[in-house]
Amino acid sequence: MADDLERFLAHARGSAATAKVMSLDDLRARRGVTSGEARWTLATLRGRLVELSARGASATLTAATELVTEAQTEHEPVAWIALGASSFYPPDLAESGVDLAALVVVRAPDATAAARTAERLLRSGAFGLVVIDLGSAHELPMQIQGRLVTLAQSHDAAIVCLTDKQEDAASLGSLVSLRAEALRLRERDELSVNIRVLKDKRRGPGWTQTLKRRGPAGY
């Protein structure tokens, strides 16, 4: 078990045999974002509990995938926690540049179990990004939120919770540092993803970022 973990972390962190060659500037240019516009980034979300929500023409998976790709480009191990049978479509993530062999995927029975799993992963200090796909779960106990925030700050990691809700619905809780809505707009064969920030304790709400990419079939 320990040897398996060491091999995984070596791969995820980009050993000489697996290091990625794409720079962050190249990655953002491919997404149609200049460095001056880039706010939806791992760097701006580190140390924070983030909620990414939408309903209808949702692009939460796409926006979360952007962060996974960026984390892996920076050789940061990533974990994705999903409830029940819900999950992403692996070929879509692979097409978007995600190294599936460097992504830990965990299934949890409910939101509380998912959050506690995130706590255990973060305590290891090995993960720079943890995505928790909560689906229709609309709140987390305050004690759990507090522990997640403390761990995110202690290990300089980002915790991104995906939820299925309207923009006027209450957030997961008061300790959410940033909440954003991600919606997709199709223009011919291109997928525009509009990320609009509804709450941001550091910079203030209201800023937006648009990502342009070719949309895989699963999105």
Tokens of 219: 């999105």
Mean pLDDT of 164-192: 84
Per-residue confidence at 192, pLDDT binned at 50, 70, 90? confident
Summarize pLDDT for 54-98 with one digit per residue, the tens: 876 678 888 999 999 999 999 999 999 998 766 788 888 888 889
Residue 42 confidence (pLDDT) above 80: yes
Q: What is the CATH number of domain 2-213?
A: 3.40.50.300
Between 205 and 200, name the one with better pLDDT: 200
Q: What is the pLDDT of residue 199?
A: 92
Between 36 and 207, name the one with better pLDDT: 207
Per-residue confidence at 40, pLDDT binned at 50, 70, 90? confident
* DSSP string of 117-182, one letter each residue: HHHHHHHTT--SEEEEEEET-----HHHHHHHHHHHHHTT-EEEEEEE--TTS--S-TT--EEEEE
The residues spanned by each domain of the chain are: 2-213
Burial class of residue 66, CB neighbours in 10 A (0-12, 13-18, 19+): buried
Mean pLDDT of 145-164: 96
Per-residue confidence at 34, pLDDT binned at 50, 70, 90? very low
Residue 158 confidence (pLDDT) above 90: yes
Total H helices, total E strands in the chain:
7, 8
Mean pLDDT of 155-177: 92
Mean pLDDT of 158-183: 91
Mean pLDDT of 183-198: 79
Summarize pLDDT for 95-122 with one digit per residue, the tens: 888 999 889 999 999 999 999 999 999 9
Minimum mean pLDDT range among 30-39, 84-93, 94-103, 206-215: 30-39
Give me the chain's average pLDDT, please. Answer: 82
Mean pLDDT of 146-173: 93
Q: Which residue in 40, 98, 90, 51 sits closest to 72, CA to CA?
A: 98
